[in-house]
Amino acid sequence: MKTILFPTDFSTNAIHASQYAGMLARRLNAKVVLLNIYSVPTVSEYQLPYEIENFILQNRKDAEKNLQDFTAKFIEATSLVSDRITQMVEYGFVGDKINEIAKQINASLIVMGTKGASNAIDKWLGTHSQKVMKNAPCPVWIVPENAAINYPKNIIYAADFKEDEVIATQKVLEFAKPLEATCNIVHIHDYFELNVSHAVQEMVHYLEDEFEKEDVSVHNVNRADIISGLETYIRTHKPDVLALAIHEKSFLEKIFDTSVTKHFVQEAKLPILTFRK
């Protein structure tokens, strides 16, 4: 059985994202680990060690109580049986601890909620989400606060045609197939990339042949700018999930480092699935 790790801060958005995680758990036949990470509030230099220790103990008790309450709401909202749900309370830095626990429990997937923002991708995804996605030992599914709680039917994998795209597509299919979703591989080809058109067409034909028996389609789109081209494609085709592969030279870095458009940030309705190539 697969294991989904769901970190929660008990916020309203976390409750919403947990319903998405529960929906995935049902279709993927997965158990769910609900995780809360607590830390020590800022303390004065004049406070004694035993006072700081009391802070830590009290924070843990509060976290355990809040997680019990959250779990009850999660079970009610998702109808998952309690045997498939585990609670964990850990102390530490959020991004580091999430990845540490994911590795410890051999998580198949991390599902995280995130809030909308005004104009910067780092604000939308949040520093914790960014750190988790870049270093996670498993795929990460980011759920915006306005995302619909529906089984995805159309997953777009934005491929840069670097590294091994067959393995990358297979990773997307690991989720698409049990969800009965279509996988659309989309490569946004920069007009100003010279001497690559032939290689791109060869890769398109290669992937079409490799996945001819699967519910997979491959598209090559020419645009002056990769990020705006991807945004336009998403706005036109309205996918349910955007899948992105992370590696050292991935254009995903451009998304993290750039203030991008309304569709990704101000609306923030499109879930993102990231994984390492």
| Contact between residue 107 and residue 137 where contact means Cβ atoms under 8 Å apart | yes
User: Given this model, what pLDDT does residue 258 score?
Assistant: 44
CA distances from 267 to 147, 155, 167, 262 (A): 10, 18, 31, 6
| CA proximity to 88, closest of 35, 153, 51 | 35
- Whether residues 175 and 267 fall in one domain: yes
pTM above 0.75, yes or no: yes
183 within a domain of the structure (yes/no): yes
pLDDT in tens, 95-116: 899 999 999 999 999 999 876 4
Residue 33 to residue 71: CA distance in whole angstroms: 10
- Whether residues 199 and 111 fall in one domain: no
pLDDT of 128 > 70? The answer is: no
pLDDT in tens, 172-221: 999 999 999 999 999 987 665 555 677 888 999 999 999 999 999 999 88
Farthest-apart Cα atoms in the chain, separation: 69
- Domain finish residue from 112, 144, 176: 144
- Whether residues 63 and 178 fall in one domain: no
- Whether residues 266 and 200 fall in one domain: yes
Residue 70 to residue 6: CA distance in whole angstroms: 12
Other beta carbons within 10 angstroms of residue 41's beta carbon come to 9
Supply the mean pLDDT for the chain. 83
B/e letters for 205-218, b = 16+ CB within 10 Å, e = fewer, are eebeeebeeeebeb
What range defines the domain where residue 93 resides? Answer: 2-144
